[in-house]
Amino acid sequence: MSFLDNIFKRGPKTDFTSLLSNGAILLDVRTKEEYRAGHVENSINIPVDDLSYDLSILVKDIPIITVCASGMRSSRATNILANRGYEVYNGGSWTNFK
């Protein structure tokens, strides 16, 4: 991967379908209200603002795909989890997984 690819996050795309079929967790980091208004079946909701305090249900041996409304909060959640040793991927908008 070139320097520019790394800066602009270009490179191989993550195969989210494969990750999910192999047991990855879909973690929705939107607010509880947003989640109640609509979410992907079998996803887990931990709002990004609570994530640092509510990791008890996440297992480090299972990959995690974070989602939100646009990809901004899921990016923040990805950084939080990666810094704690989780295998984590930013899935962007939850609507990509409907």
Domain 26-97, second-level architecture? 3-Layer(aba) Sandwich (3.40)
Catalytic pick from 19, 29, 67, 68? 68
Q: What is the mean pLDDT of residues 40-64?
A: 93
Q: Is 68 designated active site?
A: yes
* Residue 69 pLDDT exceeds 70: yes
Distance, in Å, from the CA atom of 39 to the CA atom of 15, rounded to the nearest integer, reads 20
**74 is written with which tokens?**
């899921």
Per-position DSSP letters for 17-59, written without gaps between them = HHHHHTT-EEEE-S-HHHHHH---TT-EE--GGGGGG--TT--
pLDDT digits (tens, 9 = 90+) for 13-44: 899 999 999 999 999 999 999 999 999 999 99
Q: Is the pTM of this model over 0.95?
A: no
Ramachandran quadrant class, 10 (left: phi over 0; alpha: psi -120 to 50; beta: rest): beta
**Rounded to whole angstroms, how far apart are CA atoms 19 and 83?**
20
